[in-house]
Amino acid sequence: MTDIQAIFRKSNVAVITGGASGIGFAAAKYFASLGMSVAIADLGGDRLAQAAAELKTITGEEHVLAVETDVASRQALEALERTVLQRFGRVHVLMNNAGIGPETSIFSDQSGWDAILGVNLLGVINGTRVFGPGMIAHGEAGVIINTGSKQGITTPPGNPAYNVSKAGVKVFTEALQHELRNTEGAKISAHLLIPGFVFTGLTKGERTEKPAGAWTPEQTVDFMVESLKRGDFYILCPDNDVARPVDERRMLWAAGDIVENRPPLSRWHPDYADQFKAFLEKKD
């Protein structure tokens, strides 16, 4: 089991992409509160500067680095790593968290697909591949946390590019953890963060107040940390609307489409509505 206390401690270094808002910023504030050095990467200079300023009030200016970074570009991530290593020397926590969610359909404009896959999937893959070798090589314990989504597991209709990107993050992170645990001398573990409904810039739309059903980013990070302390790989977050047993049933039903040879996305197929409802309400 990963010793999280030994990783989340003063003098260690955390890098968070998508770190200027939402879950990423909540994580950055948590790490800063422990006295860690924190590097946040995001787009939007003003927003990034504002986030960095708040972090400096928590942990001190010398422990905060903010770098405008397009995670869809491997070259930009390589530049980020060089900057972080020059400033802090090594990395113990990598949180590949940057994500976007413009609406897509199967035949919508290519630009939307390219943007989502570039940020949500390649940002995670390239972030890991850029920072991971150095994290293994320095020989100290560390973690790579990749932000996935329940939509990458149950794949509901509505935004296929987003679902594909998050399904890819799940598969990649599973393969990453398998490789890390079979790499001699590696003290790095990988974990898949699967948020519930969280009130962030990505989800709030036109709303200005948090819906009752949503968690705050800070609640999500608290749950993440407790899950990491237990050694969980799948950090499956509930929210105020959906408890874990409901999520589990939905995921089991999605897998059952293959096993039972049902139509894909049968949860939303009218011929299976009653069957799914009964399955969801079934008591083991």
Model confidence pLDDT, tens digit, residues 52-74: 999 999 999 999 999 999 999 99
**Type of residue found at 201:** G
| Sequence-ordered list of residues with C-beta below 8 angstroms from that of 269, at least 6 positions apart, any chain | 262, 263
Helix (H, G, I), strand (E, B) or coil at 273: helix
CA 237 to chain CA centroid, nearest Å: 11
DSSP assignment string, 145-166: EEE--THHHH--TT-HHHHHHH
Domains, the chain, ranges and CATH? 4-241 (3.40.50.720), 243-284 (no CATH)
pLDDT given at position 77: 98
* Residue 238 CA neighbour count, 13 Å, CB half: 8
pTM of the model: 0.95
pLDDT given at position 210: 75
Q: Hey, what's the torsion of the CAs at 78, 189, 31, 21, to 10 degrees?
A: 60
Q: Hey, what's the torsion of the CAs at 213, 283, 229, 33, to 10 degrees?
A: 10
Tell which residue, 173, 223, 179, has the closest CA to residue 198.
223
pLDDT given at position 107: 98
- Listed as ranges, residues in the chain with pLDDT below 50 are none
Place of tokens 């390219």: 114
pLDDT given at position 203: 65
Model confidence pLDDT, tens digit, residues 239-249: 999 999 999 99
Cβ(169)–Cβ(192) below 8 Å = yes
Secondary structure tally for the chain: helices H, strands E: 11, 7
Residue 89 DSSP label: S
pLDDT given at position 207: 67
Active site residues: 162, 166
